Amino acid sequence: MSNVWIFSLWLVVSTAWAAEPPVDLDRALRKYQNVKHLHVQFEQTKKLKDLDFEIHSRGELDLAPNRMTWRIHSPSPLSVEWKDGEARIGDKASVPEKYRSEMGQLLSWLRFDASALARDYAIQRPSPTSFTFSPKKAGGIFKSMQLTLNARGFAETVELTEVSDDRMILKFTHPRITYQE
């Protein structure tokens, strides 16, 4: 009987812990709480495993509550916009429904919301400046994600490994953040 009680207590505690971000992640991502507007430049490398091929691009990201704009400047201009739950790529009126949830996941990820990340991902800390995230639920397009912070505590690199083992590496520079008052 005592084993059942201990197991029940462990189940309640572990379930509650799963919803809360680890303290070190929460502390590391504190800079991104209460953001009114974030603007950052990026370099993106997409590594296609089966083709042994890389695609490089550069651009900028603008992020605000209920809005995200991802602008690629080179090698060819493209804009992806997510506003109030609606997604657009280039001049298309909207993005098909099957891609909206994935874009919504990416938007949540780009906000660096520690609680949302802890709810959806198992989190490990392989070094003092990096975190690894593995989805708790199967069926998504990402197998794992790695976040590396720079010396000032800003996101420097995000590496996404897809289920196909293709990888996307994002390097962020020149962050400008306006905070809500």
The answer to the question of residue 17 being in a domain is no
Residue 26 lies in a domain: yes
Domain housing 121? 22-179
Q: What percent of the chain has pLDDT over 70?
A: 77
Under the banding of pLDDT at 50, 70 and 90, the label for residue 108 is: low
| 131 falls within a domain | yes
- 14 falls within a domain: no
Which residue is listed with tokens 């009680």? 5
Give domain status of residue 51, yes or no: yes
Cβ–Cβ contacts within 10 Å for residue 145, how many? 19
The total of structural domains in the chain comes to 1
Q: Which of the pair, 107 or 65, is modelled with greater confidence?
A: 65
| pTM score of the predicted model | 0.76
Position with higher pLDDT, 146 vs 94: 146
Instruction: Answer yes or no: are the C-beta atoms of 147 and 155 closer than 8 Å.
Output: yes
End-to-end CA distance of the chain, in Å?
A: 53
Q: By C-alpha distance, which of 42, 26, 22, 75 is closest to 158?
A: 42
Examine residue 172 and state whether it is found in any structural domain, yes or no.
yes
Residue 2 lies inside a defined structural domain of this protein: no
**Is 90 exceeded by the pLDDT of residue 130?**
yes
Instruction: Give percent above pLDDT 90 in the chain.
Output: 39
What CATH number should be reported for the domain holding residue 156? 2.50.20.10
Q: Higher confidence at residue 69 or residue 31?
A: 69
> Could you tell me which residues come within 8 angstroms of residue 157 by beta carbon, excluding any fewer than 6 positions away?
146, 147, 148, 169, 170, 171, 172
Residues 48-52 have a mean pLDDT of 93
